[in-house]
Structure formats: structure tokens, C-alpha cells
Amino acid sequence: MRLILLGPPGAGKGTQAQRLIDRFGIPQISTGDILRAAVREGTELGKTAQSYMQAGKLVPDPVVIGIIEERLRAADCAGGFMLDGFPRTVAQADALGDVLGRMGFDVDHVISIDVPNEELVLRLTGRRACKACGSGYHVQFDPPQVAGKCDRCGGELFQREDDQEETIRARLKVYADQTAPLIAYYRTASVLRSVNGLGTMEEIFGRILGAVQD
């Protein structure tokens, strides 16, 4: 299965991606995770990406397209993959279509997760992740058993730098201006399904499964 998870910051793409990986055994490719790892490691890619990410802006298309081209050619993508956070612009979607076309593949499903902006702000301001294993939490909606500690490995939880309210609002504007047009783009290609992103994480997972197994 070749799947794209589309949705604004905080819609639950990463949360649902984890469940989809477990169900379908395909790799999750998150450009956000790849870029954050590059920033942590201080690579050239990280140095280029850091200021854009801190400001809630998109990293330039040629940079992320290059990352994805290389990643899709890895052996573990041969049987399918799930893209989380890519594409985010029409230029990225066109480039993805070209790369997949050269590999002889199509996108099977594009799932757009819809959540109102005020809920997104609540989700993102309360999001925490484990420094050691990356597991995700929410201080109110999915709290750890011990505040500030990961249930799975005991690691310290932290808040992403771009999860401050001002940056979140900038990211939501970037989504509306540059990424939301992809909903019409993929609707035209007849692969898009929109799911309601409000409800429990399990309810939303059920809706996504319904959409991909239809």
C-alpha cells in the first residue's frame, strides 16, 4: 500500500501513522522527523532546515524533494510506504508523482484528516515526546502515568520548539496557504478520502481503516 497522510499540524498524522505501521507493516516516512534528526545531528541539511522550522515555515521544496527521492528508493519501500508530512506543496506533489512514475508506482490512498484550528492549537500546545524513544503524549488527552516521564522507557518528555502558540498559528497559516490546495489536487486524481479527525484516537483509526479498505 502506498499511502499519504494529509492534514494540518496537530491533526494526528504521527499518532495514526504509528497505528498504520503496526497494522500494515509499511515504513512511515515523515519529513518532519527526518529534518528534526538532521537538526539534532547538526548536518548540512539540519543547518539549512533549522531556521525555517523554528519560524514555522516550509523548508524549500528542492531540499525536501531530494530527501524523499532518496528515501523512496530504499529497499524497505519496495512493498509500500506511508508518507506523513509530504507532500506539502503542489510542486512537491508533482515531484512525487514523477518519482513514483519512474519507479512504476502510483499513490493508492490519500487520507486527509480534518480538525478545526482551535482543537489543533490545544493538541499542539499540550503535545510532549520522549527524548529517548520518541513516543508521543499529550498532557491532557494522552498523559503519561508519571508527569514528564515516558511510560515505555522512563525517558524525559520534552516540548517541540515549534509547538509554541505563535509558531503553531504561523504553521496553520502556511498549511492553509500552501498545503490545503493538495486536497483539490488529489481529489481530482480520485484517490482522496477525507476523515473526521475529531474523536478518540481509536475512532479515527477505525475511520482511516474504513477508507483504505473500502
Helices assigned H by DSSP within 104-198: 117-125, 165-174, 181-188
CB 184 to ligand AP5: min, Å? 18
Mapping DSSP onto H, E and C, the string for 129-142 reads EECCCCCEEECCCE
Q: Which residues contact 137 (CB under 8 A, 6 or more apart)?
A: 127, 128, 129, 130, 143, 144, 150, 157
Of 180-199, which residues contact ligand AP5 (CB under 6 A)? 199
Long-range pairs for 48-57 at CB < 8 Å and ≥24 separation?
Answer: 53/161, 53/162, 54/161, 54/162, 54/167, 55/167, 55/170, 56/162, 56/167, 56/168, 56/169, 56/170, 56/171, 56/174, 57/170, 57/174
Based on CB atoms, which residue is closest to ligand AP5, 56 or 104? 56
Residue nearest to ligand AP5 (CB): 32
CB 43 to ligand AP5: min, Å? 15
CB 30 to ligand AP5: min, Å? 6
* Residues 66 and 95 sit within 8 Å (Cβ to Cβ): no
Catalytic site residue 13? yes
Based on CB atoms, which residue is closest to ligand AP5, 17 or 104? 17
Catalytic site residue 127? yes
Q: Is 208 in the site for ligand AP5 (CB under 6 A)?
A: no
> 138, 157, 182, 205: which one contacts ligand AP5 (CB under 6 A)?
138
Of 84-113, which residues contact ligand AP5 (CB under 6 A)? 85-86, 88, 92
Of 24-53, which residues contact ligand AP5 (CB under 6 A)? 31-32, 35, 52-53
Buried b (16+ CB within 10 A) or exposed e, 103-112: eeeebebbbb
Q: Is 144 in the site for ligand AP5 (CB under 6 A)?
A: no
> 29, 81, 123, 157: which one contacts ligand AP5 (CB under 6 A)?
123
- Cα separation, 126 vs 120, in Å, equals 10
The residue annotated as part of the active site, out of 36, 88, 123, 128, is 88
> 4, 6, 29, 64: which one contacts ligand AP5 (CB under 6 A)?
64
Diameter of the chain measured on Cα atoms: 49
Query: Which residues are part of the catalytic machinery?
Result: 13, 88, 127, 160, 171
The footprint of ligand AP5 (CB under 6 A) covers 7, 9-15, 31-32, 35, 52-53, 56-59, 64, 85-86, 88, 92, 123-124, 127, 136, 138, 141-142, 162, 171, 199-201, 204
